[in-house]
Structure 1
Amino acid sequence: MDFFLEDPASSSICESTGKKGHEDSEMIEKTDNYCMTEVREQPRSSDIDVTSRRVQELIEKINSSRANNQTVMDSLQEKLVAKVMEKCLQMKEHMYTVYEENGNEMQVKLQELSEVLDSCTKLNNELQEANRALANLRERLAITPTSESQ
């Protein structure tokens, strides 16, 4: 429904029940100094068709835009997955490189430790041998004090 505010100077129009040139019925109401006219118009078939067509075009445009958005998102997802996989492979390669470097360093340290342990074993054997030699010497030197004093 359309409402029209008319100039109070045209009060004669407010008192009439219709206007010339309008084929549809209308209701006129006088409020304060203004006249409000309510016009009931029958929508035309062609206006409905045009509006319907425009609505359909907008829906198609929205759907097309959504499909395009989905394509863009799918492409972005594929690129991100590929990039993440690439970075994971790089990290694995780096990790294995670090493992190899650490393994080489540990091998050198273990070799040094083995040499030190071998040296310790030799020294321990020499110490035990020296200990036995001293014990033998002590036994040979062991003279009873009573036998010497006589």
Structure 2
Amino acid sequence: MSVTLIWKQSGCFHNESSNSPEFWPLSVSWAALDGKSSSYFAALDSNTENLQKRTQQLIEKINENRKKDHTVMSNFRESLLLKVSSLAEKLEEMMFLIYDRHNKQMQDKLQELSEIMERISQIQTELRQVCHTVEAAYKDLCVQPEVPTAKEENVVAKRGVGSGKDR
């Protein structure tokens, strides 16, 4: 009789066959078989057949349980994949909600920045106009002849009188 165990390892089914004598009784008392040999062998054959049947039943039960375990693990894997996929979708939806909120905040800040930059541009234009006006006024002051004050005229007149005597 051949004994076959089936198990799954690394995604593949493996078979292990055994014809080894460990399953069968090895020591038989031949002296006790004098006249009762046929009944003894019949009983021995019956016991051996029962052991073989029981062994085969146990092996079949082990194989069935392993197949059930494989089915349970496959179902668990599928269930886990569905759950992970569902959680990933929820996480992605939450990310998009956060992106939308941040986009609105950034849009508000960009609008505010645009208004500030426009105001800065207007102030720069006004400052340039003021600088041109000050520059023009300064040039006008430098080009016009100075009008002497009364004190300055008095000093000039005295010099003119004194300078005429010396001549």
TM-score by length of 1: 0.69
The C-alpha deviation readout for 1:36-62, integer Å capped at 9, x for no partner, is xxxxx8682111111110011001100
Corresponding residue of 1:129 = 129
Letter in 2 for 1:23: L
Distance 1:112 1:130 in 2: 27
Residue correspondence of structure 1 range 28-67 to structure 2 within 5 A: 44-67=44-67
Shift of 1:142: 1.2
Secondary structure at 2:33's aligned position in 1?
coil
Structure 2: 5+ residue stretches without partners: 1-26, 35-39, 149-155, 157-167
Residue correspondence of structure 1 range 133-144 to structure 2 within 5 A: 133-143=133-143
Out of 6, 30, 33, the residue aligned to residue 23 of structure 1 is: 33
Shift of 1:23: 2.5
Structure 1 or 2: more helix by fraction: 2
Distance 1:112 1:143 in 2: 47
Secondary structure at 2:107's aligned position in 1?
helix
**Count of residues in Structure 1 that have an aligned counterpart in Structure 2:** 116
Corresponding residue of 1:100 = 100
Question: Does structure 1 residue 76 correspond to structure 2 residue 76?
Answer: yes
Distance 2:117 2:80 in 1: 54
TM-score by length of 2: 0.63
Higher relative contact order (CA 8 A, sep 6+): 2
Letter in 1 for 2:127: L
Distance 1:130 1:60 in 2: 103
